[in-house]
Amino acid sequence: MENRKIFKNKILESAVMICILKCEEDGKEYIVLEKRAEGIRQAGEISFPGGKRDKDDKTFLDTAIRETVEELGITADKIIDPKFYGSFFFVMGVLLETFVCHLKVEKISDILYNRDEVEKLLIVPIDFFMSTEPVIEEIRVYNKPLFDVNKYNFTDRYKEDWHFPNRKVYIYMYENEAIWGMTAEIIFDFINNLKKKI
């Protein structure tokens, strides 16, 4: 049976790449994150390379590679063995397809990131995530009707703002930067999977 998405046009389809960089100096592995530049969507937030799927992208992997190349200023041949990691469905109507790869660069300075989209890179040792539990906070997302609910005889609970169940938010603090939201949740899942393999 076909994997059909109902109301697909209402879903924001995006893809990101978990980029693993092995440092020759210390032999450790790092996750490459970026702080989004001012003037773009989600400015100032820490994220993986990635973005919205374009109509010309044949697959979500194409999206993840294209965005990684554009944002990190590298060539596609530097993206080694990209593999599908998992699908992330977010309550606000976002489908985020996640991939993982190794970056083949000799040194971090070889990553000539796009200053129009990226304020700076955050190169975080995987060991940090392995040994650090995220802080867990809660948020509440509200629905606010912009129409007269009485007109349609809605029940009383919808006459005021109504909300989804509280949602847990994972937060890692690294070098005074908050890694949170979908990025932190993906990292949390990724690290837990790594721990299971040890």
For the chain, the structural domain boundaries read: 8-138+163-197
pLDDT of 7 reads 62
Distance of alpha carbon 140 from alpha carbon 118, whole angstroms:
29
Token look-up 């799927």 returns 53
What's the Rg (C-alpha) of the chain?
A: 19
- Look up residue 11 and give its DSSP letter: S
pLDDT, tens digit (0-9, with 9 covering 90-100), for 40-82: 878 899 999 999 999 899 999 999 999 999 999 999 999 999 9
**CA pair distance 60, 131, nearest whole angstrom:** 31
> Residue with structure tokens 């990209």?
82
Length of the chain: 198
Name 13's bridge partners: 95
Q: Phi/psi at 11 (nearest 5 deg)?
A: -95, 130
Tens-place pLDDT, residues 90-118: 766 788 999 999 999 888 888 999 999 99
- Let me know: does 117 contact 36? Beta carbons within 8 Å: yes
Question: What is the reported pLDDT for 1?
Answer: 46
Number of neighbouring beta carbons within 10 Å of residue 93: 10
Strand pairing category for 79-90 and 94-103: antiparallel
Confidence of residue 8 (pLDDT cuts 50, 70, 90): low
How many of the other CB atoms lie within 10 Å of CB of 69? 18
The architecture of the domain spanning 8-138+163-197 is Alpha-Beta Complex (3.90)
Mean pLDDT of 113-129: 96
- Report the alpha-carbon distance of residue 163 to residue 136 in Å, rounded: 20
Cβ–Cβ < 8 Å for 18, 129? no
Report pLDDT digits (tens) over 135-186: 999 998 888 889 998 999 998 888 888 887 888 999 999 999 999 999 999 9
